[in-house]
Chains A and B, each alone.
Chain A
Amino acid sequence: MIVGRTEVWTGRLLLIALMAVTIIPFLSVFTTALHRSGTVPPGLAWPADPQWGNFLEAFEQAHMDALLISSVIIVVGVVPASVVIATMAGFAIGHLRIPGSRWLFLLFLVGLTLPLVGIVIPLYYLVRSLGFYDTKLAIILPLIGLYMPFGVFWMRAHFLNMPTELSEAARVDGATTAELFWRIHVPLALPAVSSLAILLGVWTWNQFLLALVLVEDPTERTMAGALGAFQGQYATDIPLLSAGSLVILAPTIIVFLIFQRQFVSALLSGSLKG
């Protein structure tokens, strides 16, 4: 390949500039968080006496321990259930090709571009009448439903590529449909399933609108919902707000850095397929 030296260096510089534009906002928040609580520091400046205690105070003010538990419960309530039922449906539509699967698939597709805000009003009244208002279930149950279009779409795409011979051989050996699914297809679908789980996990953790509308108590919300409440409460104390935001973001960023490869490939293929 013909690659000029200038071309390579322009590319590198541009890439580094783009990375800087992404990172610097976080640095600004970080240095701001180290200033004395209640002051209005400059955008990006290292303080003379870094207030590391701000993070501890923010941790307590934001009820971080309760928040972590609540967010984890919501993710655990949403993701495994969504993944299992989406995989089952994707299997029936993409592999078993049950009668009417074309129509079923179209029905799920309808929801793929649907903005959440388009159905949030009835969800509010529905959740109230079911008695789930202000509980974690108010977020968990609607999210499972909301993830079905993408989940089914995703798993169907996986099962379309599975050779039918595989199932035929198992059928000859007398396997029932349930055995076929759990023993043969689920193990083979694990890569697609784990990408789906990562995507749904991130989306759940970051869900804001449902938390805002359906749950008043910040400690029963998702991380994003709690962050919104924290901003409302500490909007005028910039250093403390910055410290709190970083504390609330920390788990996301740590998990992302550990599993970055899986995250990037899941998000990439997620948007390409979606």
Chain B
Amino acid sequence: MAGWLFVLPALVMYGAFVLVPLAITLFYSTLRWNGIGPWEFVGFDNYTKTLTDPDLYGTIINAFKLMFFFSFVPVALGLLVASLIRRVATGALGSAARTVLFLPQVIPLVAAGIVWSWLLSKNGLINQVLSAIGLGDITRAWLADFGLALPAVGVIGAWVLLGLCTILLLTGMSKIDQALYESARLDGANAWQEFRSITVPSLRYEIGVCITVTVIASLAAFDIIYISTLGGPGTTTAVPGLEIYRLAFLGRNVGVASALAVVLVLLVLVTVLPIQRLSREEPA
């Protein structure tokens, strides 16, 4: 019985501030309610609205577009970089690199948003560099461009997550038996074949972790977008997190906001669970 007392405090806090709110989100999602006045049951209406209103389901599409930058780019680039620096990532340079590459993980996302808003602005460093190399024609206020704001926000996320992925993958690579590479070389394998048939399969678990972390970061993105674009221009960078915040706290539309929140929670689950399953399975 004493054992249960040990779990109790954790369970109470988790229940009160996570499980109960989760249930209440479900409940709110069936209401029409402005947050103050009386509410009425509307059944699945808010879900119908979420899945048919382009301003709402559009945020989900944007989140999947962001996933390319938040997830694919850091994982793919991280793999490439990690396998190229694998042999030099020891010693003084290696440990300096660890510290530096971790910096974006330690600072708040809000700070990354502020820093990059400045870099990507009309007078910012990105345009300064482009002008210097003769590409002055394509300079613009990147975060205010209808076509390029989403990729620009994506670059911020990629910057934050690349270091983490690289170092995670590097740590995984240090556990791979070097003899595998040596015998592959003796068999005449080139660098690409080594990468495909030794590095990637051995890093199954680490790659799974990187994908999980970055996919959640893209689907649940909020801080970076709130700071850098507020979803604009238009709705080109609006993501579910931002829309939930706006609907619930600025638009006083608690029901629809909650329905979108439930959809988001489910979306994260159905996206992340298969990745977890695949990366934990033993390779056949």
Contact = CB atoms under 8 A, between A and B. Distances in A.
* Chain A interface size, under 10 / 10 to 19 / 20 to 34 / 35 or more: 35 or more
B119 A25 contact: yes
Contacts of A208: 108-110, 222-223, 226
Contacts of A115: 216, 219-220, 241, 264-265, 268
Contacts of A32: 118
A149 B223 CA distance: 22
Nearest to A269: B171
Interface of B: 2-4, 6-7, 9-11, 13-22, 24-25, 28, 35, 81, 84-89, 93-94, 96-111, 114-116, 118-119, 123-129, 159, 162-164, 166-168, 171, 178, 181-182, 185, 206, 209, 213, 216, 219-220, 222-223, 226-227, 240-241, 244-245, 248-249, 254, 257-258, 261-262, 264-265, 268-269, 272
A121 to B, nearest CB: 5
A15 B28 contact: no
Nearest to B9: A85
Contacts of B110: 206, 208, 224-225, 227-228, 231
A70 to B, nearest CB: 15
A245 B116 CA distance: 12
Given A15-B93, A29-B118, A245-B111, A256 B216 contact: no
B114 A117 contact: no
B116 A25 contact: yes
Main SS class of interface, A: helix
8 contacts: A28-B124, A98-B6, A122-B21, A144-B13, A209-B241, A227-B111, A260-B102, A272-B206
Identify which of A22, A42, A212, A213 gathers the most chain B CB atoms within 10 Å of its CB.
A22
A1 interface: yes
Given A25-B115, A121-B258, A145-B14, 6 more contacts: A19-B96, A41-B123, A120-B261, A121-B21, A149-B18, A249-B107
A185 to B, nearest CB: 11
B8 to A, nearest CB: 8
Interface stretch (A6-14, A46-54, A60-68, A188-196): A6-14
A213 to B, nearest CB: 6
Contacts of B241: 115, 117, 209
A125 B35 CA distance: 9
Contact of B10 (A7, A43, A88, A257): A88
Interface string A231-274: 10000001001100100110011001100100110011001101
A238 B117 CA distance: 10
Given A117-B261, A121-B254, A19 B106 contact: no
B17 to A, nearest CB: 3
A2 B179 CA distance: 11
Given A24-B125, A43-B123, A124-B249, A88 B7 contact: yes
A111 interface: yes
Contacts, number: 293
B18 A119 contact: yes
Given A121-B244, A253-B107, A271 B213 contact: yes
Contact of A231 (B17, B114, B159): B114
Contacts of B84: 10-11, 14
A205 interface: yes
B141 to A, nearest CB: 12
A264 B21 contact: no
Contacts of B10: 85-86, 88-89, 108, 148, 151-152
Given A43-B128, A271-B168, A271-B213, A11 B108 contact: no
B115 A245 contact: yes
A121 B124 contact: no
B236 to A, nearest CB: 20
A118 B7 contact: no
A44 B21 contact: no
